Amino acid sequence: LGYFTYDPGYSSTGCCQSDITFIDGDQGVLLYRGYPIEQLAEQSSFVEVSYLLLNGELPDKRQLEQFDDTITRHTLVNESLRIFFNGFHHDAHPMAMLTGVVGSLSAFYHDTIDINDPESRMLSAHRIIAKMPTIAAASFKHMVGEPFVHPQNRLSYTGNLLNMLFARPSEEYEINPVAEKALDQLLILHADHEQNASTSTVRMAGSTGTNPFAAIASGCAALWGPAHGGANEAVLNMLSEIGTVDQVPRFIEKAKDKNDPFRLMGFGHRVYKNYDPRATIIRKTCHEVLDELGVANDPQLELAMKLEEIALADDYFVERKLYPNVDFYSGIIYRALGIPTEFFTVLFAIGRTPGWIAQWIEMLEDPEQRISRPRQLYTGAARRDYTPLHRRN
């Protein structure tokens, strides 16, 4: 191929150097800035993890308070931005609303965005991390036809998200601490995953010098697909389609059949050829949350566990090293928290935002950074002359 390598899907192309996230796919290891995901999921908070991803080190007490305060103070969105939601049809997918409205943030902050200035970059990072839940919750309220709920400074990041999703003017809403902790943990688990499709998209868009909100909106668009962040929604749709435990073997056979487009959603990963460490954590949390919320005998959890058990004992999945990934059990938790399926990918987007923005900053600070511009193998027609319309038959 001369001076470039043909690598469809970039499975063997390193496109950047990064200090942010380490994955060992064979061993099932995931580290954010060197810290194991298991320790962060157990002991940290999403806000602290966001600080870590952005700044490279864990904050001390004062730095964390300051960061938390800054994020809290940026949660409001401009009232005219909120009005955008009225323009969406009532059955618009929340990812469609999120992608559009996040992109439009650049219309509100254009005068303070200078991508060459580190302070302006960090200000944009704080704004986007703070405003994602507000925009996401607005898309949720629009979807369910309820009035928007403003952010409350007295609540935690995740408590505030829950409040904006579920509070109604007609009744008291009390945040369930089990739900708050589980959701915070899910956000931590989604916070970064090195050069996945949406993060690469953010880097690629960002490499042109576009503004951070446009870059993050492109990440949302890439995340939406069922092979990426849309898989959590697809898993629950798949479980509904399978219906009952006795149907599992039939669907396993369908997943193995190359003439059948059906795939086991929430299974397989480009990098993990071992159990996805995030799935191990989520699986445990899933049992705990369902127990605490009193839905211990969730038939879909039972179905998911049976599916996993049969798949992991099947040569097809063993030989190809296909294990449950992060999306396999997350949807069951979201559903137990009362979140509709269409909204799952939006939660993934909120979680991935600190990763996207940290990678965007890292890319801009990299002295080797150039515009992302892959090459291609041209397979089309050779040179030919234009035929005027009246002479074509």
Catalytic residues: 269, 327
Q: Is residue 307 helix, strand or coil?
A: helix
Spatial distance between the Cα atoms of 177 and 165, rounded to a whole number of angstroms: 15
Nearer to ligand CMC, 84 or 343 (CB): 343
Judged by CB under 6 A, the chain residues 279 through 338 that form the site for ligand CMC are: 320, 322, 325-327
Q: Does the footprint of ligand CMC cover residue 264 (CB under 6 A)?
A: yes
Q: Does the footprint of ligand CMC cover residue 255 (CB under 6 A)?
A: yes
Spatial distance between the Cα atoms of 363 and 343, rounded to a whole number of angstroms: 30
Q: Does the footprint of ligand CMC cover residue 151 (CB under 6 A)?
A: no
CB 266 within 8 A of CB 324: yes
Figure out which of the listed residues 82, 126, 150, 270 binds ligand CMC, where binding follows CB under 6 A.
270
Figure out which of the listed residues 85, 213, 267, 356 binds ligand CMC, where binding follows CB under 6 A.
267
Nearer to ligand CMC, 24 or 65 (CB): 24
Spatial distance between the Cα atoms of 209 and 371, rounded to a whole number of angstroms: 8
Figure out which of the listed residues 121, 228, 306, 335 binds ligand CMC, where binding follows CB under 6 A.
228
Nearer to ligand CMC, 267 or 329 (CB): 267
Figure out which of the listed residues 121, 141, 269, 306 binds ligand CMC, where binding follows CB under 6 A.
269
Figure out which of the listed residues 94, 206, 229, 331 binds ligand CMC, where binding follows CB under 6 A.
229
Nearer to ligand CMC, 123 or 304 (CB): 304
Figure out which of the listed residues 231, 242, 248, 337 binds ligand CMC, where binding follows CB under 6 A.
231
Which tokens is 224 given? 């939406």
Q: C-alpha distances in angstroms, 383 versus 189, 379, 388, 391?
A: 51, 12, 16, 19
Q: Does the footprint of ligand CMC cover residue 273 (CB under 6 A)?
A: no
CB 281 within 8 A of CB 251: no
Stretch touching ligand CMC by CB under 6 A, among 40-48, 84-92, 262-270, 355-363? 262-270
Strand 35-36 and strand 29-32: the pairing is: antiparallel
CB 136 within 8 A of CB 346: yes
Q: Does the footprint of ligand CMC cover residue 202 (CB under 6 A)?
A: no
H helix or E strand, kind and range, residue 30: strand 29-32
Letter for the amino acid at 298? Answer: D
H helix or E strand, kind and range, residue 167: none
Q: Does the footprint of ligand CMC cover residue 254 (CB under 6 A)?
A: no
Spatial distance between the Cα atoms of 318 and 313, rounded to a whole number of angstroms: 7
Nearer to ligand CMC, 53 or 123 (CB): 53
Q: Which residues, 6 or more positions from 392, have their beta carbon under 8 angstroms from its beta carbon?
A: none
Q: Closest separation between CB of residue 198 and ligand CMC, Å?
A: 8
Spatial distance between the Cα atoms of 85 and 367, rounded to a whole number of angstroms: 40
Nearer to ligand CMC, 134 or 325 (CB): 325
Kindly write down the DSSP assignment for every residue of 261-281, as one continuous string.
Answer: ----TTB--SS-SS--HHHHH
Q: Does the footprint of ligand CMC cover residue 233 (CB under 6 A)?
A: no
Site string for ligand CMC, 81-120 (x = CB under 6 A): ----------------------------------------
Sites of contact with ligand CMC (CB under 6 A): 9, 196, 227-229, 231, 255, 263-270, 320, 322, 325-327
